[in-house]
Structure 1
Amino acid sequence: MGDLAEEEQQLPLVGSLSSPDASEESIERTGTIWTAVAHIITGVIGAGVLSLAWSTAQLGWIAGPLCILAFAGVTVVSSTLLADCHRYPDSEFGHIRSRSYTQAVKFYLGEKSKRICAVLAQESLWGTGITYTITTATSIRAIQKSNCYHRKGHDAPCAYGITKYMLLYGAVEIVVSQIPDLHNMEWLSVIAAIMSFTYSFIGFGLGLATVIENGMIKGSLTGVPAANTADKLWLAFQALGDIAFAYPYAIILLEIQDTLKSPPPENKTMKKASMLAIFITTFFYLCCGCFGYAAFGNDTPGNLLTGFGFYEPYWLVDLANACIVLHLVGGYQIYCQPVYAFFERWFTQTYPNSLFVTRFFTFKLPSLPPLKVNLFRICFRTAYVVSTTAVAIVFPYFNQVLGVLGALNFWPLAIYFPVEMYFVQRKVSPWTRKWIVLRTFSIICLFVTIIGLIGSIEGLLSAKFG
């Protein structure tokens, strides 16, 4: 039996301007370019990759691949601008680390912008948790259906619900959510990144094999035909929202960058990691999107690996979906840890004398490192996971939810705030060449966000009430 020790410990007030580096000595930063790449790939290659074949089908052979490449380019620009904003120049303290996205917005753009950003950021991260819950449950169900189709034939009525799988996934995430922070998640990100490579490669391989078996490349330059022009536009707009969801990771970039050791400077390491990770993900995105569309044409499913364009070999379909499940267990935590850190810091600063918030219990087991347990952490993180699971049960619509979340958060979080912070950080004067280029870039991305959001909301409402 282990013994339980009690200790009173206040969580560090990270991010306070009066003591910006109060907890620097207590944090051992050991991250490298490879751990950063693992974190990024875990966060980026997720539910979004599975919808890219469908998105390509809606846009056609010209616009589909071009949009994937365009969003890759936008993500490169966004991540480069944001990486330079990790350290904020301060006259009193030299350089202050921005250990979270919202903290960086506060330092550069002020309290009002920080509050707006905080709402959008928490909504984005919370929404990603919902999407990952839907995707994981759908993949578990797909394994059952794949085995059923293999035994009974492809026309068999193999119908299974997904609510119980969402509840199961939520229970697993409640346990995994007790990992303290990103500094303790390198091993989980590495496993998740390997899983993402595996199922992406399987999706690409199955698509290529189907194209070879068909003896032709399906699809057209304009994509899947629709009953009328309005319907075609709605679907194209939703496809843009889906692609927007698949790429940007600005909201977790600074948290990842804060795990990196220096020298070399963290921003240089982060830029290299971002370029490498985006190159890798874009390769898989194009392979899955293009070969999926080439294999199925107008019948391309919304989810490449769970929509049952592929039936055989059933064991390979099962393996791909199992990898999705394992990956999204880690991916969920990559997107939840910033939320946990934000609220736990706020409660610690607001209620510094509350034992419920600040007291830790250390549970010691033989041959294992001590396990520190905090009651507030257990309660808050459990409630958070329950909330994402509950909403996923109510709105289990994969493509539509992806589109809404991607379009809603793409411009403000991936474009607007990074550009505005970069202006302040580099003291870019209005109407200079750099200012005009970046401002035009921001306006174009705003337009894309608006049309993507309109189409995705229409698709979600049609799926729910149509």
Structure 2
Amino acid sequence: MAKEMQQQPSNTMYTERDPEGFENGATKNLDDDGRVKRTGTWLTASAHIITAVIGSGVLSLAWAMAQLGWLVGPVVLMAFSFITLFTSTLLADSYRSPDPVTGKRNYTYMDAVRANLGGRKVQLCGLAQYANLVGITIGYTITASISMVAVKRSNCFHKHGHNVRCHESNNPYMIIFAIIQIILSQIPNFHNLSWLSILAAIMSFGYSLIGLGLSIAKVVGGAHARTTLTGVTVGLEVTAAQKVWSTFQALGDIAFAYAFSTVLIEIQDTLKSSPAENKSMKTASFVGISTTTLFYVLCGCVGYAAFGNAAPGNFLTGFGFYEPFWLIDIANVFIAIHLIGAYQVFGQPIFSFVETRCNKKWPENKFVTREHAISIPFYGVYYLNFFRLVWRTIYVIFTAVVAMIFPFFNDFLGLLGAASFWPLTVYFPIEMHIARAKIRKYSCTWIWLKVLSWTCLVVSLVAAAGSVEGLIQSVRTYKPFQTKDTE
């Protein structure tokens, strides 16, 4: 018979205390905050970061390079890499306050802002973070379905020829993706996601290497794609206005390709306290960002060399390659599996936020707080919470429905990158560092940090403008059963 239990207070509502952990008042199985001892290391954190960072964005980098050219493209990629690494080290020190090693834990990005800045900035951070997380989960639903459709279309092209218009609706595949996510969303919290993130990280390496290998083969095979120092040429390939908008959109795509600050604090909250969490997180950030930057530069530059200024928005699902069709199929299956894990990495903070708020507001409501212990063969005891089951199912269905209504890939990536890059990756980490380190106003350090922040704000604004323009054009030209990246 299933037992019932009331939840213990927790950042995710679902952390249970082990009764055997209490010996003579000691809590050997609990951390310093009374929660179940964290077991994450820099290695598992790196897997989370790679899962979050190496995503669908890597597939659009050849297109972004085509808009920027050999001169600006690699410089922009490296600039975003250095900025993200720098600000992630600042953000890692905000996990504990006031001292980054011995201070009180901040379980979420909002908690860190509340402890270091306070005021309206807490609400602004929450709005930026959770709106962006919702957007990313919608975007991943779209991208995963495009990859699933690409497998079927690849086989169609192989069977009937490359000139056949093998149309296929994305909607059934979005439904399949949503069903998988409904099941996986019952994973209680971020602490139980390590295995899924490691699998997803392996998948991301897999399809990145396949795309890179195919691009190298295309270049070595004698493909003579037209490339230039400044990217697509005004007057020959695009108009001046199109060049400006596509350049802005490319900045948004690259910004999106480095987006993981939205879940950095939540990832850091999975780390064990020895060595210090900020030290492990800085190591994980360095490993994760260095690894992804290497892949980005290779995929972006080699992809541009292979396709030139005509690079597709997604060189695997956009059919820059048709053969070998079985390898294209494997790559797209890898993408879909990776995005299944990435959806959870970005979705779990949303789940935790809503469930924690509801638990605090209705602590006596058994539907919200009660967990039912169910023994599952070969798994052990699973704690079923009906509120978690209903709410997370509704959320996944919501993201799938929005994705069906809004099936545009490249422009959506740019808009997500533009919306999150400045506030979450740059502004709040810098402001919290200034407040925590008590940096004197108008000092040299204060001035250059502010210059960096305002420069990144300008980049975010122009990237957002380019993405909105791209979305408008996509809406005007959209045809059912045909997404922009497959035209």
Q: How high is the TM-score relative to the length of structure 2?
A: 0.91
Aligned identity (percent) is: 47
* Helix, strand or coil at the partner of 1:214: coil
Which residue of structure 2 aligns with residue 50 of structure 1? 59
Q: CA deviation at 1:379?
A: 1.3
Which residue of structure 2 aligns with residue 172 of structure 1? 180
Q: CA deviation at 1:424?
A: 1.2
Which residue of structure 1 aligns with residue 10 of structure 2? 12
* Helix, strand or coil at the partner of 2:40: coil
How many correspondences in the alignment?
A: 457
- Aligned match for 1:428, one of 409, 418, 439: 439
- Aligned match for 1:456, one of 467, 475, 478: 467
Matched, 1:154 2:165: no
Matched, 1:286 2:284: no
Which residue of structure 1 aligns with residue 18 of structure 2? none
Give the residue type in structure 2 aligned to 1:63: V
Q: Superposition pairs for residues 341-360 of structure 1, below 5 Å?
A: 341-360=352-371
Give the residue type in structure 2 aligned to 1:56: M
Which residue of structure 1 aligns with residue 322 of structure 2? 311
> How far, CA to CA, are the matches of 1:382 and 1:11 in structure 2?
23
* Helix, strand or coil at the partner of 1:148: helix
Which residue of structure 2 aligns with residue 97 of structure 1? 105
CA contact (8 A) 1:136 1:166 kept: yes
Q: CA deviation at 1:392?
A: 0.9
Which residue of structure 2 aligns with residue 184 of structure 1? 192
* Helix, strand or coil at the partner of 1:360: strand
> How far, CA to CA, are the matches of 1:258 and 1:12 in structure 2?
12
Give the residue type in structure 1 aligned to 2:246: L
Q: CA deviation at 1:298?
A: 2.3
- Aligned match for 1:332, one of 331, 336, 343: 343
Q: Could you give the per-residue CA deviations for residues 411-461 of structure 1, whole angstroms, max 9, x where no partner exists?
A: 011111111111111111111121111111001000100100001001001
- Aligned match for 1:144, one of 152, 168, 185: 152
Evaluate the alpha carbon distance shift between residue 402 and residue 142 of structure 1 in structure 2; reply closer, same or farther with a 3 A threshold: same
Q: Could you give the per-residue CA deviations for residues 48-72 of structure 1, whole angstroms, max 9, x where no partner exists?
A: 1111111111111111111111110
- Aligned match for 1:86, one of 87, 95, 103: 95
Q: CA deviation at 1:7?
A: 2.3
- Aligned match for 2:264, one of 253, 262, 286: 253
> How far, CA to CA, are the matches of 1:238 and 1:156 in structure 2?
30
CA contact (8 A) 2:146 2:317 kept: yes
Give the residue type in structure 2 aligned to 1:306: T
Which residue of structure 1 aligns with residue 425 of structure 2? 414
> How far, CA to CA, are the matches of 2:165 and 2:12 in structure 1?
55
- Aligned match for 2:86, one of 77, 85, 94: 77
- Aligned match for 2:381, one of 351, 365, 370: 370
CA contact (8 A) 2:146 2:170 kept: yes
Which residue of structure 1 aligns with residue 485 of structure 2? none
CA contact (8 A) 2:81 2:293 kept: yes
Q: CA deviation at 1:22?
A: 9.4
Give the residue type in structure 2 aligned to 1:12: S
Q: CA deviation at 1:94?
A: 6.3
Matched, 1:60 2:69: yes
Give the residue type in structure 1 aligned to 2:351: Y
CA contact (8 A) 1:10 1:359 kept: no
Q: CA deviation at 1:187?
A: 0.6
* Helix, strand or coil at the partner of 2:384: strand
Q: Superposition pairs for residues 28-39 of structure 1, below 5 Å?
A: 28-39=37-48
Matched, 1:209 2:207: no
Matched, 1:389 2:400: yes
CA contact (8 A) 1:39 1:334 kept: yes
* Helix, strand or coil at the partner of 2:349: helix
Evaluate the alpha carbon distance shift between residue 111 and residue 341 of structure 1 in structure 2; reply closer, same or farther with a 3 A threshold: farther
Q: Could you give the per-residue CA deviations for residues 376-434 of structure 1, whole angstroms, max 9, x where no partner exists?
A: 11111111111111111111110010011110111011111111111111111111121
Give the residue type in structure 1 aligned to 2:399: T
Which residue of structure 2 aligns with residue 18 of structure 1? none
> How far, CA to CA, are the matches of 2:88 and 2:460 in structure 1?
18
CA contact (8 A) 1:361 1:372 kept: yes
Which residue of structure 1 aligns with residue 203 of structure 2? 195
CA contact (8 A) 1:30 1:259 kept: yes
Gaps of 5+ in 2: 14-29, 478-487
Which residue of structure 1 aligns with residue 480 of structure 2? none
RMSD of aligned alpha carbons: 1.7
Q: CA deviation at 1:39?
A: 0.6
Which residue of structure 2 aligns with residue 122 of structure 1? 130
Evaluate the alpha carbon distance shift between residue 366 and residue 403 of structure 1 in structure 2; reply closer, same or farther with a 3 A threshold: closer
> How far, CA to CA, are the matches of 2:136 and 2:223 in structure 1?
38
Give the residue type in structure 2 aligned to 1:72: S
Q: Could you give the per-residue CA deviations for residues 113-149 of structure 1, whole angstroms, max 9, x where no partner exists?
A: 1111111111110000011001100000100011111
Which residue of structure 2 aligns with residue 24 of structure 1? 33
> How far, CA to CA, are the matches of 2:475 and 2:51 in structure 1?
30
Q: CA deviation at 1:465?
A: 2.5
Which runs of structure 1 show a deviation greater than 4 angstroms over 4 or more consecutive aligned residues? none
Give the residue type in structure 2 aligned to 1:95: G
